[in-house]
Chain A
Amino acid sequence: MSEFLQFVASGVGQGAIYGLVGVGFVIIYNVTGIINFAQGHYLMLSALAAVSLREAGLPAVPALLLAIVAGALAGVATDRLVISPARRHSTLTLIILTVGVAIAVEGLALLIWGVNPRRYAPFTAGPPLEVGGAALSRQTLWVLAVTVAMALALWWFFQRTVVGKAMQACAMNRDAARLQAINPAQMSLYAFTMAAAVAGVAGVVLVPITSAYYDMGIPFGLKGFTAAVIGGLVSPFGALAGGLLLGVAEAVAVGYVSSAMAEGVAFAVLALMLVLRPEGLLAQVRTRWA
């Protein structure tokens, strides 16, 4: 039992990251209809930027904040330079364009940072903490705390601000939103920026755990997408829950079977979800954003 708890403890940290990436998929998909395959790449950019900014001598807090801004700017660039000019084309074309963005960003990262993983010290030094018989690394606690903070911030944004409501309205009925002077192009920009910023946050809290490397965008993007699909692709909070579920499933499979299982679990869960329950495990929260 304590072994199982340990797997859960090591899974929730990763899972929270998948969830944060998944939130971005949900936001962009709902507002624009696009599945953004560059989603994991914003995480990669922010993670690598954090390492470089810290190495350049910046104190930790500004380095991390600037790294998140860098990820968010990549989202702005995706919308303004790629999606917005191609807006007249079909959604499928736009989705394929995001694959192009992902490849381009990864190539750029390879040129800038090279192939070697980069390390970043945990935010707080010290031994793991004992929680109910399982050891939780201090960085995992950071990840969980930041994830909770992000969830609260998103809830506040979508439930309490007019712009958040406008984004929901645009997701529910684009024509009706336009009739209220809500500009879908602007909502698209907001969606890409937010999604990239949330992925960026995930990137900087993750980097002390996994290190940062130029081709981490695809695996994290895939797992974020799986998390979003588990949540039914309609609810940011469903995506967060889906991420935690996926992270724990992965850790359990690795622990009981083999570390070679890690990648397979996400693919298997994604395939099963799309075939058996494409509406998500949490279908009743459809169209609810909180």
Chain B
Amino acid sequence: MSQPLLAVRGLRAAYGRIQALRGVDLEVHPGEVVAVIGANGAGKTTLLRTLAGLMPPAGGTVLLEGRDVTGRPAEEMVRLGVALVPEGRQVFYGLSVWDNLVLGAYHRRGQADLRRDVEEVFALFPVLAQRRRQAAGTLSGGEQQMLAIGRALMARPRLLMLDEPSLGLAPKVVRDVMGRLVELRARGVTVLVAEQHARAALAVADRAYVLERGRIALAGSRERLLEEPAVRAAYLGRRALRTGAAADEKADTGAPLTMSEE
């Protein structure tokens, strides 16, 4: 396979004495949509925050196209092409949709093609175009999620990371947002998405990792994980397998997975 866009080796991170990541290995190849699924508290947010440079790692290495970028601060990771759509969206509430998007391209400020990039985001998310002058805080949850993704795209990332994009969104909106990730891949953006909502993530991912208590418990193609009995039991919900989307909510609770070695 080609050189990975992102290669993470033995990544550790801690809050004080509490270990949140205990040696995570993962790879993302150009053009892939990769999901990290896991229960609340498994370390998904810590993983993405560390990769984005918001948190210093306690150990391990992060390679971006083979180049060691371990421990670089967020301001620099964005310039290197790694953008994060943070958990809970975190758009700038008091600023307009337009301003939020322009700030996404802050490190390219003053460049003539920004306007065209904003128009491209509007083409991807037409609802944002209608709301361009509105304060971001007045948007619905789904619209804010689209704005947060659009803002991250404004940085022209090579790797777009999303932390729990389904959080607090209605099932229909979740499908819409996830659908856009597939659209993004078609445009050449590589995606790493962390999701508690395993069903939604596996619906769009090429490959996925299962994160459990700070370690990768399981990895594989989407097809393989969808077949994996442990994943079905812990993350997809037995009932959900029979009745489709009806048990989406139940899947969110994700009981710990009793490892596939069994």
Tell whether A and B belong to one assembly.
yes
Contact partner of B78 among A168, A172, A173, A180, CB < 8 A?
A180
Report Cα–Cα, A165/B155, bound state, in Å. 16
Measured CA separation A169–B148 after assembly (Å): 13
Within 8 A of A (CB), among B84-140: 84, 86, 90-95, 99, 102-104, 106-107, 109-110
B106 / chain A contacts, CB cutoff of 8 Å = 162, 166, 180-182
A287 at the interface (CB under 8 A from B): yes
Chain B, interface size category, equals 20 to 34
List, in ascending order, chain A residues with CB within 8 A of B99's CB.
165
Check if B184 is an interface residue, CB within 8 A of chain A.
Answer: no
* Chain B neighbourhood of A277, CB < 8 A: none
> Are the C-beta atoms of B54 and A179 separated by less than 8 Å?
yes
Q: Is the CB of B75 within 8 A of A183?
A: yes
Would A180 and B93 count as touching, CB distance under 8 A? Answer: no
Tell me the complex Cα distance, A172–B74, Å: 17
Consensus secondary structure, chain A interface: helix
Q: Is A3 at the interface (CB under 8 A from chain B)?
A: no
Q: Which residue of B is nearest A164, CB measured?
A: B99
Does A87 sit within 8 A of B, measured CB to CB?
A: no
Q: Is B83 an interface residue (CB 8 A)?
A: yes
Give min CB distance, A244 to chain B, whole Å.
Answer: 24
Q: Is B232 an interface residue (CB 8 A)?
A: no
**What is the size, in residues, of chain A's interface with B at 8 Å between Cβ atoms?**
20
For residue A182, which residue of chain B has the nearest CB? B106
Question: Which A residues touch B110, using CB under 8 A?
Answer: 162
Whether A178 contacts B75 in the complex (CB less than 8 A), given A165-B103, A166-B106, comes out as yes
CB-nearest residue of chain A relative to B93? Answer: A172
* Chain B: minimal CB distance from A88 (Å): 12
Most chain A beta-carbon neighbours within 10 Å: one of B54, B73, B74: B74
Q: How far is the CA of A95 from the CA of B115 in the complex (A)?
A: 41
In the complex where A165-B103, A178-B54 touch, is A287 in contact with B93 (Cβ < 8 A)?
Answer: yes
Q: A166-B103, A169-B103, A176-B86 are in contact. Are A182 and B75 (CB under 8 A)?
A: yes
Supposing A162-B106, A165-B102, A169-B103 touch, asked if A179 and B93 sit within 8 A by C-beta, the answer is: no
Contact of B84 among A173, A179, A182 (CB under 8 A): A179
Q: List 16 A-B contacts (CB under 8 A).
A: A163-B109, A165-B99, A165-B102, A165-B103, A169-B103, A175-B86, A177-B103, A179-B54, A179-B74, A179-B84, A179-B152, A180-B155, A181-B75, A181-B76, A287-B94, A289-B94
